[in-house]
Chains A and B, each alone.
Chain A
């Protein structure tokens, strides 16, 4: 069955870097666009980044543009989010989500998230 498992979260000091991973199983990652979405503690959902299935396009939310980089390793069926210049406001649960192959049908599967805490 389809599974998405995020990892790589933890406590990191402001200004430092962290790399998140999302391991996909039960499907071929290269067939799907993938998103990162985050949720600060007790807050709502914030879209972070997307990568097209063929990696031809990548887009980022304004709050992370220039600091975060989304990538994928199709040989390992894994999605990544490289985060640099981390700030307190980046503290959140980070979800990866799969875009459905059905046009216009977003996020048919989500992971359970990995928690990033930015604190000195």
Chain B
């Protein structure tokens, strides 16, 4: 099974500052035949179901603010919130869907 490891486990960022979350997979999730990374990012606010933010590692879901961006390829990925807003306080999960499905352990984002 592919293991997904996120870092850090939590971070506190000032409003308007950048937040960066890393996700590393135990093996590549890049499918060579279509050059797509089978990697998604989800946001889960307290008391709510998760919400899809990014898929194909860098494709923003419809309606997601453009301050959210995804990057990376192969085994190393990053979710960036360019200017943190109060409503972005949440836990963020990466998930690979290259070989079955596995989630990272989550990264809690708070306001400093």
CB–CB B103/A44 < 8 A: yes
CB–CB B56/A47 < 8 A: no
> Known: A104-B56, A106-B40. Is A47-B49 also a contact (CB below 8 A)?
no
> Known: A50-B101, A95-B49, A113-B49. Is A45-B93 also a contact (CB below 8 A)?
yes
A107-B49 Cα distance, complex, nearest whole Å: 11
A106-B101 Cα distance, complex, nearest whole Å: 10
A16-B42 Cα distance, complex, nearest whole Å: 33
Cβ contacts under 8 Å, B100 to chain A: 47, 50, 59, 61
CB–CB B49/A105 < 8 A: no
CB–CB B49/A104 < 8 A: no
The answer to whether the Cβ of A112 comes within 8 Å of any Cβ in the partner chain is yes
CB–CB A107/B102 < 8 A: no
A14-B38 Cα distance, complex, nearest whole Å: 36
Which of chain A's residues has its CB closest to B56's CB? A104
The answer to whether the Cβ of B66 comes within 8 Å of any Cβ in the partner chain is no
Cβ contacts under 8 Å, B106 to chain A: 44-45
The answer to whether the Cβ of B22 comes within 8 Å of any Cβ in the partner chain is no
Which one, B50, B97, B101, contacts A110 given CB within 8 A?
A: B50
Cβ contacts under 8 Å, B97 to chain A: 104, 106
Which of chain B's residues has its CB closest to A60's CB? B100
Cβ contacts under 8 Å, B103 to chain A: 44-47
Which of chain A's residues has its CB closest to B47's CB? A112
The answer to whether the Cβ of B52 comes within 8 Å of any Cβ in the partner chain is yes
The answer to whether the Cβ of A9 comes within 8 Å of any Cβ in the partner chain is no
The answer to whether the Cβ of B87 comes within 8 Å of any Cβ in the partner chain is no
The answer to whether the Cβ of B25 comes within 8 Å of any Cβ in the partner chain is no
CB–CB B49/A106 < 8 A: no
A45-B50 Cα distance, complex, nearest whole Å: 9
A76-B106 Cα distance, complex, nearest whole Å: 35
Residues on A close to B: CB < 8 A?
35, 37, 44-47, 50, 59, 61-62, 95, 104-108, 110-113
